[in-house]
Structures are given as C-alpha cells and as structure tokens.
Amino acid sequence: MTNRERPLSPHLQVYRWQITMTMSILHRTTGIALALGAFGLVWWLLAVARGGDAYAAAADCLASPLGMLAAFGFSLALVYHLLNGIRHLLWDSGWGFELPEVYRSGYAVFALTVVLTALIWVFALRGGA
C-alpha cells in the first residue's frame, strides 16, 4: 500500500477552548451521572418500600457527609442537564443560533444552575418551610 500524505484532522490542541465545548462535555457527563444516580434513587425507593430497618439504614447513609455530597451532586447534575436540555429544545425550534445568543444562553444556564440548586438545598435543609 502506498502511504499518501493526508491532512490530519484538527485536535483539541488546535482549537481555543470555548464555553460551547465545556457545555457539551458537561451535558454528556451529567447525563452519565444521572443514569448512575438513578440506581441510588431506586435503592432509596426500595428501602422506603421495605420500611423499618431498611429505611433507617438508607436514611443514615444519605444523611452522612458522603451521602449529602452524592445527593448534592445528583441535584446539581439534574438541574444543569434539565436547563441545558431546555436550551437545546430552544435551538431545535430555531431560536438562539447567533453566536452572542449561544454564549448568553450558556452563561444563563450556568448561573441558573447555581441559583436553582442553591434554592433547592436551602429549601430542603430548612425542612420545606
């Protein structure tokens, strides 16, 4: 076989890092985190259904620092994935394709993720009141 010199495809080292790249990677990562977190949610639901000691063990596990960190990460991933999914739905309807709008909506998703996740946790830790 002859070895023809062909141009190489550009790699990440060629491109300047952009918010769109970050958001795409995070959207995929949060999707994976949500799929894994669903197993934890099913485990908790099964413990609720069994009641008694099973629920007490699950509640203790979720109340531990590691359990709280996992729940916080799950809620952060859920809010980000939801908001970025809405952003994609808006793109599917033809809105927001201009570059300034892409950046503006990206920063809005980041900001709203932080604000909504913080509100969820403040509300949850205050006992719903």
Distance separating the N- and C-terminal Cα atoms of the chain: 73
Q: Is residue 81 part of an annotated ligand binding site?
A: yes
Binding site listing: 81
Residues making up the binding site for heme: 81
